[in-house]
Each structure stands twice: as structure tokens, then as C-alpha cells.
């Protein structure tokens, strides 16, 4: 999209509505503790993974079968000097039918290559979006890490 964002896209052999349902089932594909609704316009949910990452997302767009957007209203990353790098960024999922299924285009607007967290964050997003979310859409089961306290 531009130099101040990360975009990951993939195509699945599922309908746009199936992709939308999986995206809004955040607990099914993103690791960590998630509190709050992830499928209500205007709602906020918090994400926490150990003491490494905490963030609060406000759901700013929820168009069934077409688009999901979150605004990061508060973020904390323990592994970078500016722990608030995510604060004020936007995360979008654009969903479009294709000839052979549905394209999902994820964009983290404001996650820029010059940010200290870019390498680690983009690598994590690539796994959670291109592997875990894609798996949830295709087969009904994502691949988030085990919950804290769960046996390995």
C-alpha cells in the first residue's frame, strides 16, 4: 500500500462471508488473552500476550463479507524503545470475491519499515494472518499459540 504499512494478502476457496466470520473470531487465530467483543461495531477489545504485548483495538468498520477495521487506541510493546509504536495505527481486513474464491487483504497502516518493531511485528503478523487466519478460514481451525498456562 505505502511505505508506512504492512500488507499481507491471500486467496481462499471460501465465501467472503466465511472469511468475515473467521476474521471476527479473533480468538480463533490470534494468540494471547483477548477480552471484549471482537464482532461489534464501536466495541473495544484488549489483546495481551504475556508481558510482551498489550493493545486495545476499537472496531471502526464492520461490513459483513467486505471489511473489518480496527483502530489501536492504546498499545504497549516491551521489546522496543518506544513501547507505544502501535498506538494510533489502524488494522484493516479487506475481503473481495475472486474467480476462484475470496481474497483477504490485511493491512497494518502505521506499521512502517523504519519502526523498531517492524521486523518482529511483521514476522508475527505473517504467521497469524497467512497461516493461522488462513487455516481458520479454510478448515475451521486456526493455529494460535497455546493459551498461557495450557499444557504444551
Q: What is the pLDDT of residues 96-125, one digit of tens each?
A: 999 989 999 999 999 999 999 999 999 999
Please, what is the average pLDDT of the chain?
A: 91
Q: How far apart are CA 17 and CA 64, in angstroms?
A: 6
| pLDDT per residue as tens digits for the range 29-41 | 998 899 999 999 9
Residue 35, judged by CB atoms within 10 A of its CB (0-12, 13-18, 19+), counts as exposed
Of 95, 98, 105, nearest to 129 by C-alpha is: 105
What's the mean pLDDT in 18-27? 96
pTM: 0.91
Distance of alpha carbon 62 from alpha carbon 66, whole angstroms? 8
Amino acid at each position: 500500500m505505502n511505505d508506512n504499512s504492512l500488507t499481507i494478502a491471500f486467496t481462499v476457496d471460501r465465501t467472503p462471508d466465511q472469511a468475515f466470520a473467521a476474521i471476527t473470531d479473533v480468538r480463533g487465530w490470534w494468540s494471547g488473552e483477548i477480552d471484549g467483543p471482537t464482532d461489534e461495531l464501536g466495541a473495544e477489545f484488549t489483546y495481551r500476550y504475556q508481558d510482551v504485548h498489550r493493545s486495545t483495538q476499537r472496531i471502526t468498520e464492520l461490513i459483513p463479507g467486505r471489511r473489518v477495521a480496527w483502530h489501536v487506541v492504546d498499545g504497549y510493546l516491551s521489546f522496543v524503545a518506544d513501547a507505544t509504536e502501535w498506538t494510533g495505527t489502524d488494522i484493516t481486513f479487506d475481503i473481495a470475491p475472486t474467480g476462484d474464491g475470496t481474497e483477504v487483504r490485511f493491512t497494518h497502516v502505521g506499521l512502517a519499515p523504519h519502526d523498531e518493531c517492524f521486523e518482529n511485528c511483521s514476522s508475527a503478523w505473517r504467521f497469524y494472518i497467512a497461516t493461522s487466519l488462513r487455516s481458520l478460514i479454510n478448515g475451521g481451525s486456526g493455529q494460535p499459540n497455546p493459551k498461557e498456562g495450557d499444557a504444551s
